[in-house]
Amino acid sequence: MARVCQISGTRVLFGNNVSHSQRKTRRPFYPNLVTKKFYLPEEERHVTLKITNRVLRTIDKKGITAVIKEAKAKGTYTGN
């Protein structure tokens, strides 16, 4: 699976390494992904998601059900 958040859709960004002599070479900036298992009480099942740490904090704040509902409405949810 690619390095993409299943909720927010955050993916790899590209930028430059810049040396002391100002030579620029391309490099990737990877999202801070964690694999986490959540329990959905409405569906009475567990879901394993690959999400960014930022989304994990949002889930702590709003709850998993609200976050998945918003992601489905935006069309970024790529889970089951």
Fold of 13-74: Ribosomal Protein L24e; Chain: T; (2.30.170)
Query: How far is residue 28's CA from residue 13's CA, in Å, rounded to a whole number?
Result: 6
What's residue 1's pLDDT? 61
What's residue 71's pLDDT? 93
Query: How far is residue 13's CA from residue 9's CA, in Å, rounded to a whole number?
Result: 12
Q: How do residues 5-52 score in pLDDT, each as one tens digit?
A: 999 999 999 999 999 999 999 999 999 999 999 999 999 999 999 999
DSSP H stretches of helix in the chain: 53-62, 64-74
User: What is the C-alpha end-to-end distance of the chain, expressed in Å?
Assistant: 14
Amino acid at 46: H
Q: Which residue has the tokens 């040396």?
A: 19
